[in-house]
Each structure stands twice: as structure tokens, then as C-alpha cells.
């Protein structure tokens, strides 16, 4: 292993920021960057050697390869993490547009929501079955639902998600509003007690494989769609109308008051889903962020 790869591996080992999937993706990205820098002619680098010329060379390589804005954004996020850990975060601007990277576009009116149906009964593992129920009831990501610990999360009128469960290590709160949510939470207490929904005799990876196998056997696919369904239900509750992706009004049909309420709802849903930017909600709800420019 090259010295730079070794340094980055050690930094990752010392800093377990974020969920397991986040950590794995970060290491793959940093490992690739080290190999790319070597291919670009930068030899004998160490993690602390990062300088603007290295960032410029990597970015030029990625842009020449025609990488999508989303891929560039993810790689720059990992590069910022590297710079932060060596005390050089100022090497990169906070705004990707300053680097010539376009914002990701989230233009879609196609609903990707899905619901749990009778196939849930075919999921034999009780921990997996309950994790799926939590995904539907609270809009959780898969890893969050698997690692869910009711005694930690339950705060009476809301849930608190531990940063180590979440993507990017961003803990968040989710309101506890419905009887369906309370029933799912009560079942989680009964099954897990003060533990998590990963049985004590299994590792996360072992349980993840069982989750995938159980879902495949029951014919349950693309379960991220449960988050879409949660977001669309929350939009309906917050605005009193369906979102565009579920057949609601288009942006051009909204009155100024409705546009203001639409933006307020999207901000709330973005926080509940664990996203930093309001425009990401277009993936779940439909339409693109640029419509708000005229109402700000």
C-alpha cells in the first residue's frame, strides 16, 4: 500500500464519522483519489501534503472524464473531509459552484413511493420485518432502521436518531405524530428492549445480508421508496394537498400563498429526511428548486 493510501486509511480508522455505509464509501473515494494523484505524477505524498494544486489536478481529471455533478459533489465532500482532518479545510471553498461544479438537478414528477403490503407477512425474520415498518412509519433509511434503538430514539413527542446510524453522521429529529408510528415504536420496544433491531448475536453486515435476503424472498424491492411515501404523506399533512409527484398542483398553478406554504413544508420534510438542502426534496415530491427564486 502506498504511503498516501496508508495515511488515509489510518485517518479513516481513527475517525468513524457517519454510518457504516458512509464510512465505506468515504474510504473507497479517498483510496481512489490517492491512486489518481499517483497516476497524475504526484509521488511520495502524505495525507498532510494536500495542497491546492492537488485539488485542482483531481478536479480537472474528474471533469475531463465527464463525471456527473452528483458524483463530483460526493467526491468533493470526501475531499473536504480529508482536508478537515488534517487542519486544511480552507483549501476548498464551501460552495461547489466556486469550483465550476454545477448543482445537481432534481427535476422529476415521477413518484417513486412504495408501500408495504401483504408481502410483509412473508418476511420471516421479526427484526427485519419491524425495520421495514419503521422505514415506512418514519421515513428512515435502511441502515437507520436496522440500527434503530427505541430506548435511545424515543423522546416522547419525537425521535432522535444517533449520528452513527445516519448518512453523513448527521443526527436528526423526527416528529412522532400518528398512532401508526406509536404502534411501530411499541413493537420495537417489545422486540429490542434497550438494544437495537440488530440481534445481539449478529454483526451489522450479517444482519444486512439477512435483510436483503428476506426482502428478495418476499418480493420486496426498492424499499427506499418507503421514504418517498413518507415524504409525500408529510407534504399532504403539512399543506393539505398532494405534492406534484403524487398528482398535485404544478408550481405554475400555485398561488403566492401556496408557494410559501410549499417551501415551508419542503424545508420541514428535508430536515426530517436528513438532507441539508431543500432542493433534494424534489426527488421525493417533484419539481425543482429554481421555482422558489421568485418568492424569496
Q: What pLDDT score was predicted for residue 295?
A: 38
Cell of 57: 489536478
Residues 164-204: tens digit of each pLDDT:
999 878 899 999 999 999 999 999 999 999 999 999 999 99
pLDDT of residue 20: 82
For cell 411499541, name the residue.
186
Strands (E), the chain: 158-161, 172-175
C-alpha cell, 147: 440500527
Instruction: Please check the confidence at residue 84 and state whether its pLDDT lies above 90.
Output: yes
263-279 pLDDT per residue, tens = 999 999 999 999 877 77
pTM of the model: 0.70
Listed as own residue / partner, the contacts of 49-55 with beta carbons closer than 8 Å and 24 or more positions apart are 49/4, 50/82, 50/83, 50/86, 50/88, 50/91, 51/91, 52/91, 55/79, 55/91, 55/92
How does the average pLDDT of the chain come out, rounded? 89
Task: State pLDDT tens for residues 207-248.
Answer: 999 999 999 999 998 898 999 999 999 999 999 999 999 999
pLDDT at 136 over 60: yes
Beta bridge partners of 161: 172
Q: How far apart are CA 54 and CA 175, in angstroms?
A: 44
pLDDT surpassing 60 at residue 74: yes
More confident residue, 202 or 251: 202
What is the percentage of the chain residues whose pLDDT exceeds 90? 69
Question: Residue 79: is it exposed, middle or buried by C-beta count within 10 angstroms (0-12/13-18/19+)?
Answer: buried
Residue 71, Cβ density class (10 Å: 0-12 exposed, 13-18 middle, ≥19 buried): middle
Q: How confident is the model at residue 42 (pLDDT cuts 50, 70, 90)?
A: very high
Per DSSP, the three-state class of 154 is: strand
124 vs 150: CA distance, rounded Å: 21
C-alpha span between 81 and 46 (Å, rounded): 15
Instruction: Determine the Cα–Cα distance for residues 233 and 247; give it in Å rounded to an integer.
Output: 13
Amino acid at each position: 500500500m502506498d504511503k498516501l493510501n496508508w495515511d488515509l486509511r489510518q485517518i479513516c480508522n481513527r475517525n468513524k464519522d457517519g454510518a457504516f455505509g458512509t464510512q465505506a464509501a468515504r474510504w473507497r473515494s479517498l483510496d481512489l483519489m490517492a491512486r489518481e494523484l499517483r497516476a497524475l505524477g504526484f509521488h511520495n505524498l502524505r495525507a498532510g501534503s494536500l495542497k491546492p494544486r492537488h485539488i485542482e489536478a483531481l478536479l480537472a481529471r474528474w471533469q475531463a472524464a465527464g463525471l456527473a455533478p452528483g458524483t463530483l459533489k460526493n467526491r468533493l465532500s470526501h475531499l473536504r473531509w480529508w482536508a478537515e482532518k488534517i487542519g486544511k479545510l480552507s483549501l476548498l471553498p464551501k460552495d461547489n459552484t466556486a469550483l465550476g461544479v454545477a448543482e445537481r438537478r432534481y427535476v422529476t414528477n415521477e413518484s417513486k413511493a412504495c408501500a408495504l403490503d401483504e408481502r410483509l407477512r412473508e418476511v420471516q425474520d421479526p427484526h427485519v420485518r419491524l425495520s421495514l415498518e419503521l422505514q415506512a412509519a418514519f421515513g428512515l433509511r435502511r441502515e437507520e432502521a436496522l440500527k434503530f434503538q427505541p430506548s435511545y430514539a424515543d423522546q416522547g413527542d419525537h425521535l432522535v436518531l444517533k449520528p452513527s446510524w445516519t448518512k453523513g453522521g448527521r443526527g436528526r429529529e423526527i416528529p412522532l405524530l400518528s398512532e401508526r408510528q406509536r404502534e411501530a415504536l411499541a413493537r420495537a420496544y417489545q422486540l429490542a428492549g434497550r438494544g437495537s433491531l440488530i440481534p445481539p448475536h449478529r454483526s451489522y453486515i450479517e444482519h444486512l445480508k439477512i435483510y436483503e435476503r428476506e426482502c428478495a424472498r418476499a418480493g420486496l424491492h426498492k424499499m427506499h421508496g418507503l421514504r418517498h411515501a413518507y415524504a409525500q404523506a408529510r407534504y399532504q399533512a403539512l399543506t393539505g394537498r398532494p405534492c406534484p409527484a403524487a398528482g398535485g398542483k404544478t408550481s405554475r398553478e400555485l398561488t403566492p400563498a401556496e408557494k410559501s406554504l410549499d417551501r415551508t413544508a419542503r424545508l420541514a420534510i428535508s430536515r426530517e429526511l436528513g438532507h441539508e438542502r431543500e432542493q433534494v426534496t424534489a426527488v421525493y415530491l417533484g419539481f425543482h428548486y429554481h421555482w422558489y427564486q421568485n418568492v424569496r
